[in-house]
């Protein structure tokens, strides 16, 4: 049986040293787009699972297809046939997502520790702990980073050490999303992603005023004259 505490520590250490080996920006932009974020936040409000975590699960399970269930990618308006099977049908993507997080293993909504190590361990649980049992980084988490090279379960119970997972992993997605949206936090603290992309600032320059005239304006011309006079007197 996999030791969850050990997996949490291992994933925290991998995160601290991870670098992206692929470009995640395009996918991250879709996941952090205002309309998508609002839908993830609605599910987060009902489950307590951070919206960014919901977003990366959605990407991994069905490439952010809104007709696919968060649980396993099956259409949410039918009874699911893949594990977890027998779920649904549901009335909406949101209803299916809440069911996946609340009622299906690993019961992500029960988690109260959203530190980065525990978050990544929880995401690995969501996919399965077969990689951890082998002592290998899970591609579900680390694909597309320098922490992963090869190895993938090509079907249930069948592991191929030579196959490379082509999907973006959850860790790389979170790094890229955090670079685009600095409001993404874990346990109330903004985590600086280990990549060299500066977050987009939401701040706007102050509007021109008497004390802060616009460059090239009459106000700026007069302010320069007063500054020159006072510099001479001093």
- Show the tokens assigned to 96: 């299916």
Residue by residue, pLDDT tens for the chain (234 residues) are 678 899 999 999 999 999 999 999 999 999 999 999 999 999 999 999 999 999 999 999 999 999 999 999 999 999 999 999 999 999 999 999 999 999 999 999 999 899 999 999 999 999 999 999 999 999 999 999 999 999 999 988 899 999 999 999 999 999 999 999 999 987 644 334 444 333 323 333 334 444 444 445 555 445 454 444 444 443
Whole-Å CA distances, 20 to 143, 145, 193: 9, 4, 11
- The residue ranges of every structural domain in the chain are 4-190, 204-234
Q: DSSP 3-state assignment of 129?
A: coil
CB 34, CB 67: distance < 8 Å: no
Residues of 131-141 as b/e, b for ≥16 C-beta within 10 angstroms? bbeeebbbbbb
């Amino acid at each position: 049986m996999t030791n969850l505490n050990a997996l949490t520590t291992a994933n925290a250490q991998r995160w601290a040293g991870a670098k992206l080996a692929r470009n995640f920006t395009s996918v991250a932009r879709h996941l952090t787009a205002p309309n998508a974020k609002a839908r993830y936040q609605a599910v987060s409000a009902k489950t307590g699972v951070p919206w960014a975590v919901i977003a990366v699960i959605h990407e991994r399970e069905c490439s952010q297809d809104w007709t696919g269930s968060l649980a396993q990618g099956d259409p949410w308006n039918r009874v699911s046939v893949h594990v977890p099977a027998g779920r649904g049908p549901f009335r909406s993507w949101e209803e299916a997502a809440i069911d996946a997080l609340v009622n299906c293993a690993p019961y992500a909504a029960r988690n109260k520790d959203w530190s980065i190590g525990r978050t990544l361990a929880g995401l690995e649980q969501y996919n399965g702990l077969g990689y951890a049992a082998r002592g290998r980084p899970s591609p579900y988490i680390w694909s597309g980073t320098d922490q992963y090279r090869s190895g993938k379960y090509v079907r249930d119970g069948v592991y191929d050490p030579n196959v490379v997972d082509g999907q973006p992993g959850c860790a790389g997605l979170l790094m890229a999303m955090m670079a685009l949206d600095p409001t993404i936090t874990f346990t109330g603290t903004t985590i600086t992603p280990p990549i060299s992309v500066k977050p987009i600032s939401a701040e706007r320059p102050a509007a021109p005023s008497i004390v802060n005239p616009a460059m090239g304006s009459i106000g700026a011309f007069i302010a320069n004259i007063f500054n020159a006079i006072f510099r001479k007197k001093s």
